Structures are given as structure tokens and as C-alpha cells.
Amino acid sequence: MRTQVAIIGAGPAGLLLGQLLHKHGIDNVILERQTGDYVLSRVRAGVIEQVTQDLLDEAGVGARMHRDGLVHEGVQICVDGERHRISFKDLVGKTVMVYGQTELTKDLMDGRAAAGAPTIYSAHDVALHDIFSERPRITFRADGRAQDISCDFVAGCDGFHGVSRKSVPAGAITTNERVYPLGWLGILSETPPVSDELIYVRHPQGFALCSMRSPTRSRYYLQCSLAEDIESWPDERFWEELKPRLDEEARERLVTGPSIEKSIAPLRSFVAEPMRFGALFLAGDAAHIVPPTGAKGLNLAASDVQYLSRALAEYYAEKSRAGLEHYSERALARVWKAERFSWWMTMLMHRLSDNSFDHKIQLAELDYLFRSQAAATAFAENYVGLPY
């Protein structure tokens, strides 16, 4: 098989890149290790920045998001039982969209099917060859037989545990990492959300987040230890741990019910540098991870894809390599800003130690955030997404 761009991974990064390349008339094949149903079963991000929305529109898959997504003009932060609101609309004139990653992935899959572009699901033993040559090659196993694809470029969109980053010679890559000693236990339930807006909760017992997917479907997270076993978290225990962390009004409004999904995600900050190795370009979680607190992971994946799709379009239309040469530097400049914000918000909102000094510093910083228009504006600017 021969294509122009071989894309590894059918998560949001790979599917969005495929769709944008297709719009530019660039041939691409996506190789995905899992089945399509499995990819759709992963409940993850919920907050979509304006620039990501614009990109989904450009890819021709934004209609359902605009119909069913919830526009949020602000966010609420609850500190030790008292709620504060930060208005994005008033401070920076922007909003975000709450729309599940699952739905967005489905829209991208449907768009790809309508375009007739090939995705090979259940592709096993994917291996990258000759990435520093003009003729890179991918080998894999699918439908019970060995297959290969030759291409001009490879887009490594295969997430943190993917094969692309691991294919790079050790001396060519630098990794920067911080692992936090905690995780997020998340549940999805068919219950109305406690509030019209997301509530990020800082509480002595630990962080919590009240989010949503629709007026009848809620998503909640609780800070948990990494050693936690999901089996020891029946739904009743989750609700009982959540309630005391909320303010009185939210506690009274909270509607509990059976969970329809439950999972634990570890918190990590990670950046690989550079993001390009010869003909291989890393994008999304394959290159970087943020802790979920700032809602940046999916949006960063989209911003990488924006730079990469434009660079490839420029290459095929004008034979210009300028965008490809600058891809890594441009993407990383944005990545580090999102890494900083996600790290800062994680350190601010979680119970990270028993040290009373750490605890008081968090409270002082939060007090500053609520009292200073400059601090609130900086928060709003980062949360809604810095311009590209």
C-alpha cells in the first residue's frame, strides 16, 4: 500500500488530522490498534476551546457539537465550601464548549466514513521504519496477515503509550516529566448536573470536579490515591465522598444515581522534545501529557494538528518545507504554556501533602485569584485557550 501521510492512532489527534488532510486533497491512511467501538468507549475530555471548535468546523464535523454542546461563559471554583465564579465572557470576551470527547470522536469517525478515507482498526504490531529517509515505511498485522505502507510522512498520533515516540533513537529525544502522587476517579451518571457551570472544588479532603455532558448527564471526578482499586469504589461510596467536599447549595442539589462508567486516571506532566524526527511528526498525547485539571489535553492535540495539517498542506501545494521545519518549535511554544497552566492549577486545587505551609499558600493564591482582576483575567485567558 502507498499513501502520502500514514497516521498512527485514531484518537482525536489522528482523526482530526486525517479529516483536515483530506480537505486539502492529501491522501492518508490511519492505523489504529483498537477497534472503533473500543475507541468510542473511552470517556475522557469534556471542555473544548474556541480554537478547537473552529478547527472542527474547518474539518466539516462541527455541526452536532454546535447543536448539542453546552456553551459555558464561566467556571466556578469552590474553596472549603464557598463558591466563586470566574466569568470568561466578562474578562476576556470568550467562552468554551462542553461536549464529550466520545461524541467528538464519533463525529470525526462519521466524517471520515463519509469521505471514504481508510482507517485500519485492530492493526497489530505497528512498526516504523526508515523515518530518517525519504521513503518511510510502516509494517503491521491486520486481518491475520502481514502488511505494509510506504509513505512520505508519518504522523505519530498514538497517545502516550504508542509506538511512534518509542521508535525514535534515544539520543535524538529529550523527555521532561513530573508524576503527581494522585489520580482522578471519574464517574458518568444519568443524572442532572448540580450546576449550569463546572465546579472545581478545593477541599481539605481532596479535589473534586462537577462537570457534565448534557442537561441530564453528569460527569464527576474525585482526587484519589494511585493505589486505589476501582472495585473498592461502589457508587454509594463515590457519592458519600463527594458530598462533604461541595458547598451547601450544591450538596442540596446533587442528584445521585447509578454510574454508567467509572475509571481512574493518573496525573502526569510530560513533554518530549523535539516533536519531529525526520519524516516522523508527533502530535497530541504521543508528544505531551498534561494533568487534566486545566482541561487542556484534547485542545493541545488539536493545536498540534492545526500546525501539522497547515505545514503538510503548504508542502504539497507549494513544495515549501518551511512549516514542516518550524512545526516542532511552534507546537512546543504552545505546549509549554498549557503545561504551565495545567501544573499550576493542579498544584493549586489538590491536597498534595499534610504540610500546613503548602495548604496556606494554596489558600493565599486562591484568595488572590478571586480578588485580583489581573489574576482572574490571566486564569480566564489560559482556560479558554491562548490564541495560536
Based on the shown chain and the rule CB under 6 A, indicate whether residue 295 belongs to the binding site for ligand DHB.
yes
81 CB burial (10 A radius; 0-12, 13-18, 19+): middle
CA distances to 27, 167, 279, 289, 388 from 135, in Å? 15, 16, 9, 30, 32
Is there binding between residue 46 and ligand DHB (CB under 6 A)? yes
Q: Which does 293 bind (CB under 5 to 8 A by kind): ligand FAD, ligand DHB, none?
A: ligand DHB
Partner interacting with residue 219 (select from ligand DHB, ligand FAD, none; CB below 5-8 Å by kind): ligand DHB
Contact 105, 59 (CB under 8 A): no
Among the listed residues 72, 203, 288, 350, the single catalytic one is 72
Virtual torsion, Cα 17, 21, 22, 28, nearest 10 deg: -80
Give the list of residues 6+ apart from residue 355 with CB closer than 8 angstroms, or none: none
Q: With CB under 6 A as the contact rule, which of the stretches 10-18, 59-67, 320-328, 377-385 interacts with ligand FAD?
A: 10-18
- Give the list of residues 6+ apart from residue 340 with CB closer than 8 angstroms, or none: none
Q: Minimum CB separation from ligand DHB for residue 252, in Å?
A: 22
Per the annotation, the verdict on 243 as an active-site residue is: no
CB 157 within 8 A of CB 8: yes
Report the candidate in 311, 374, 300, 303 with the shortest Cα–Cα distance to residue 340.
300
Q: Pick between residue 112 and residue 219 the one whose CB is nearest to ligand DHB.
A: 219
Per CB under 6 A, which of residues 144..163 are in contact with ligand FAD? 157-159, 161-163
User: Is 166 tagged catalytic?
Assistant: no
Residues in the chain: 388
Which candidate in 12, 136, 180, 200 is catalytic? 200
- Contacts to ligand FAD from residues 334-353, by CB under 6 A: none
Residue 219 Cβ, how far from ligand DHB at the closest point, in Å? 4
Binding status of residue 293 toward ligand DHB by CB under 6 A: yes
The answer to whether 209 and 350 have CB atoms below 8 angstroms apart is no
Greatest extent of the chain over all pairs of C-alpha atoms, in Å: 63
Nearer to ligand FAD, 62 or 284 (CB): 284
**Is 200 designated active site?**
yes
Using rule CB under 6 A, residue 70 touches ligand DHB: no
Are the C-beta atoms of residues 220 and 238 closer than 8 Å to each other?
A: yes
Size of the site for ligand FAD (CB under 6 A): 37
User: Which residues between 280 and 299 bind ligand FAD (CB under 6 A)?
Assistant: 284-285, 292, 295-299
Pairwise CA distance, residues 304 & 309, whole Å: 9
Interaction mask 119-138, ligand FAD, x per CB under 6 A: ----x--x------------
User: Which residues are part of the catalytic machinery?
Assistant: 72, 200, 292, 296, 383
Query: Which residues are at the interface with ligand FAD (CB under 6 A)?
Result: 8-14, 31-34, 39, 44-47, 101, 123, 126, 157-159, 161-163, 184, 186, 265, 284-285, 292, 295-299, 301
